[in-house]
Structure 1
Protein backbone atom coordinates (compact mmCIF):
# COMPACT_ATOMS: atom_id res chain seq x y z
CA UNK A 1 0.00 0.00 0.00
CA UNK A 2 1.35 3.37 -1.00
CA UNK A 3 1.15 6.46 1.15
CA UNK A 4 -0.59 9.46 -0.38
CA UNK A 5 2.64 11.42 -0.73
CA UNK A 6 4.43 8.48 -2.40
CA UNK A 7 1.51 7.89 -4.77
CA UNK A 8 1.40 11.55 -5.76
CA UNK A 9 5.17 11.62 -6.32
CA UNK A 10 5.04 8.49 -8.50
CA UNK A 11 2.09 9.82 -10.50
CA UNK A 12 3.92 13.11 -11.02
CA UNK A 13 6.94 11.25 -12.39
CA UNK A 14 4.69 9.17 -14.69
CA UNK A 15 2.94 12.32 -15.90
CA UNK A 16 6.24 13.97 -16.78
CA UNK A 17 7.40 10.77 -18.46
CA UNK A 18 4.23 10.65 -20.58
CA UNK A 19 4.64 14.29 -21.63
CA UNK A 20 8.25 13.70 -22.65
CA UNK A 21 9.61 16.02 -19.97
CA UNK A 22 12.90 15.50 -18.15
CA UNK A 23 12.91 12.65 -15.61
CA UNK A 24 16.19 12.10 -13.79
CA UNK A 25 17.85 8.72 -13.46
CA UNK A 26 17.26 8.82 -9.71
CA UNK A 27 13.51 9.34 -10.29
CA UNK A 28 13.42 6.53 -12.85
CA UNK A 29 15.10 4.14 -10.41
CA UNK A 30 12.67 5.22 -7.68
CA UNK A 31 9.73 4.63 -10.03
CA UNK A 32 11.05 1.25 -11.19
CA UNK A 33 11.53 0.10 -7.59
CA UNK A 34 7.83 0.57 -6.92
CA UNK A 35 6.78 -0.74 -10.35
CA UNK A 36 8.47 -4.08 -9.62
CA UNK A 37 6.53 -4.47 -6.37
CA UNK A 38 3.16 -2.87 -7.13
CA UNK A 39 1.02 -3.78 -10.12
CA UNK A 40 -0.77 -0.40 -10.08
CA UNK A 41 2.52 1.46 -10.39
CA UNK A 42 3.61 -0.90 -13.16
CA UNK A 43 0.39 -0.07 -15.02
CA UNK A 44 0.99 3.68 -14.57
CA UNK A 45 4.49 3.31 -16.01
CA UNK A 46 3.37 1.25 -19.02
CA UNK A 47 0.56 3.74 -19.77
CA UNK A 48 2.97 6.66 -19.51
CA UNK A 49 5.43 4.96 -21.86
CA UNK A 50 2.66 4.11 -24.33
CA UNK A 51 1.35 7.69 -24.26
CA UNK A 52 4.86 9.03 -24.81
CA UNK A 53 5.35 6.68 -27.77
CA UNK A 54 1.92 6.95 -29.42
CA UNK A 55 0.30 10.14 -28.10
CA UNK A 56 -3.45 10.58 -27.74
CA UNK A 57 -5.45 7.98 -29.62
CA UNK A 58 -9.06 8.07 -30.75
CA UNK A 59 -11.68 5.41 -31.41
CA UNK A 60 -10.94 1.76 -30.83
CA UNK A 61 -7.20 2.35 -30.44
CA UNK A 62 -7.94 4.89 -27.70
CA UNK A 63 -10.25 2.45 -25.93
CA UNK A 64 -7.63 -0.30 -26.06
CA UNK A 65 -4.99 2.08 -24.69
CA UNK A 66 -7.33 3.21 -21.88
CA UNK A 67 -8.01 -0.41 -20.95
CA UNK A 68 -4.27 -1.11 -21.07
CA UNK A 69 -4.71 -3.80 -23.70
CA UNK A 70 -2.26 -4.58 -26.44
CA UNK A 71 1.49 -4.78 -26.49
CA UNK A 72 3.47 -2.85 -23.92
CA UNK A 73 6.39 -2.13 -26.23
CA UNK A 74 6.25 -3.24 -29.86
CA UNK A 75 10.05 -3.05 -30.22
CA UNK A 76 10.78 -5.24 -27.19
CA UNK A 77 12.77 -8.27 -28.45
CA UNK A 78 12.23 -10.16 -25.18
CA UNK A 79 8.46 -10.23 -25.66
CA UNK A 80 7.74 -10.82 -29.35
CA UNK A 81 4.18 -10.75 -30.57
CA UNK A 82 2.39 -14.06 -30.07
CA UNK A 83 1.65 -16.06 -33.18
CA UNK A 84 -1.54 -18.09 -33.15
CA UNK A 85 -0.04 -20.60 -35.58
CA UNK A 86 2.83 -21.31 -33.17
CA UNK A 87 0.36 -21.89 -30.36
CA UNK A 88 -1.61 -24.45 -32.39
CA UNK A 89 1.56 -26.20 -33.59
CA UNK A 90 2.44 -26.97 -29.96
CA UNK A 91 -1.10 -27.95 -29.01
CA UNK A 92 -2.41 -31.43 -28.30
CA UNK A 93 -3.41 -33.55 -31.33
CA UNK A 94 -7.11 -33.27 -30.52
CA UNK A 95 -6.82 -29.46 -30.79
CA UNK A 96 -4.64 -29.31 -33.87
CA UNK A 97 -6.25 -28.16 -37.11
CA UNK A 98 -5.21 -29.61 -40.46
Structure 2
Protein backbone atom coordinates (compact mmCIF):
# COMPACT_ATOMS: atom_id res chain seq x y z
CA UNK A 1 0.00 0.00 0.00
CA UNK A 2 1.41 3.38 -0.99
CA UNK A 3 0.33 6.45 0.97
CA UNK A 4 0.20 9.57 -1.15
CA UNK A 5 -0.46 13.19 -0.22
CA UNK A 6 0.18 12.77 3.51
CA UNK A 7 -2.36 10.61 5.29
CA UNK A 8 -5.38 11.53 3.17
CA UNK A 9 -4.94 9.59 -0.10
CA UNK A 10 -3.83 6.01 -0.56
CA UNK A 11 -3.27 3.63 -3.44
CA UNK A 12 -3.62 -0.06 -2.64
CA UNK A 13 -3.28 -2.74 -5.31
CA UNK A 14 -6.46 -4.81 -5.36
CA UNK A 15 -8.62 -2.13 -3.72
CA UNK A 16 -10.76 -0.06 -6.10
CA UNK A 17 -8.69 -1.38 -8.99
CA UNK A 18 -5.57 0.24 -7.56
CA UNK A 19 -7.05 3.69 -8.09
CA UNK A 20 -6.17 6.50 -5.65
CA UNK A 21 -8.81 6.83 -2.95
CA UNK A 22 -9.62 8.55 0.33
CA UNK A 23 -7.57 6.77 3.01
CA UNK A 24 -9.69 4.25 4.88
CA UNK A 25 -12.58 4.49 2.40
CA UNK A 26 -13.54 3.06 -0.97
CA UNK A 27 -14.35 6.49 -2.42
CA UNK A 28 -11.85 7.23 -5.17
CA UNK A 29 -10.25 10.51 -6.13
CA UNK A 30 -12.09 10.21 -9.44
CA UNK A 31 -15.42 9.87 -7.59
CA UNK A 32 -14.72 13.10 -5.69
CA UNK A 33 -13.60 14.88 -8.88
CA UNK A 34 -16.74 13.85 -10.79
CA UNK A 35 -19.02 14.94 -7.95
CA UNK A 36 -17.28 18.30 -7.78
CA UNK A 37 -16.60 19.09 -11.45
CA UNK A 38 -19.52 17.41 -13.22
CA UNK A 39 -22.30 17.10 -10.65
CA UNK A 40 -21.78 20.49 -9.01
CA UNK A 41 -21.44 19.38 -5.39
CA UNK A 42 -19.32 21.59 -3.18
CA UNK A 43 -16.42 19.97 -1.37
CA UNK A 44 -18.23 20.59 1.91
CA UNK A 45 -21.34 18.81 0.59
CA UNK A 46 -19.27 15.82 -0.50
CA UNK A 47 -17.56 15.60 2.89
CA UNK A 48 -20.89 15.80 4.70
CA UNK A 49 -22.75 13.41 2.41
CA UNK A 50 -20.14 10.67 2.77
CA UNK A 51 -18.96 11.48 6.31
CA UNK A 52 -15.42 12.25 5.14
CA UNK A 53 -12.90 14.59 6.71
CA UNK A 54 -12.98 17.85 4.76
CA UNK A 55 -9.17 17.82 4.57
CA UNK A 56 -9.34 14.44 2.78
CA UNK A 57 -11.79 15.78 0.21
CA UNK A 58 -9.53 18.78 -0.46
CA UNK A 59 -6.54 16.43 -0.68
CA UNK A 60 -8.45 14.34 -3.23
CA UNK A 61 -9.02 17.40 -5.40
CA UNK A 62 -5.37 18.43 -5.05
CA UNK A 63 -4.37 14.92 -6.12
CA UNK A 64 -6.83 15.09 -9.01
CA UNK A 65 -5.41 18.36 -10.31
CA UNK A 66 -1.86 16.97 -10.03
CA UNK A 67 -2.84 13.83 -12.00
CA UNK A 68 -5.72 15.16 -14.07
CA UNK A 69 -4.72 13.74 -17.46
CA UNK A 70 -4.30 10.21 -16.10
CA UNK A 71 -7.53 10.25 -14.07
CA UNK A 72 -9.58 11.81 -16.90
CA UNK A 73 -8.14 9.24 -19.35
CA UNK A 74 -9.16 6.40 -17.05
CA UNK A 75 -12.67 7.87 -16.66
CA UNK A 76 -13.01 8.05 -20.46
CA UNK A 77 -11.80 4.46 -20.83
CA UNK A 78 -14.30 3.31 -18.20
CA UNK A 79 -17.15 5.14 -19.98
CA UNK A 80 -16.12 3.63 -23.33
CA UNK A 81 -16.03 0.16 -21.78
CA UNK A 82 -19.55 0.63 -20.42
CA UNK A 83 -20.87 1.72 -23.83
CA UNK A 84 -19.31 -1.25 -25.61
CA UNK A 85 -20.62 -3.60 -22.93
CA UNK A 86 -24.14 -2.16 -23.24
CA UNK A 87 -24.06 -2.60 -27.02
CA UNK A 88 -22.85 -6.19 -26.74
CA UNK A 89 -25.23 -7.07 -23.91
CA UNK A 90 -28.55 -5.28 -24.46
CA UNK A 91 -30.83 -4.94 -21.47
CA UNK A 92 -33.48 -7.64 -21.50
CA UNK A 93 -35.83 -5.29 -19.67
CA UNK A 94 -35.32 -2.47 -22.18
CA UNK A 95 -35.82 -4.91 -25.07
CA UNK A 96 -39.04 -6.20 -23.52
CA UNK A 97 -40.33 -2.66 -22.86
CA UNK A 98 -39.52 -1.60 -26.41
CA UNK A 99 -41.35 -4.64 -27.75
CA UNK A 100 -44.40 -3.79 -25.60
CA UNK A 101 -44.40 -0.19 -26.88
CA UNK A 102 -44.29 -1.37 -30.48
CA UNK A 103 -47.27 -3.72 -30.08
> TM-score, with normalisation over the residues of structure 2?
0.28
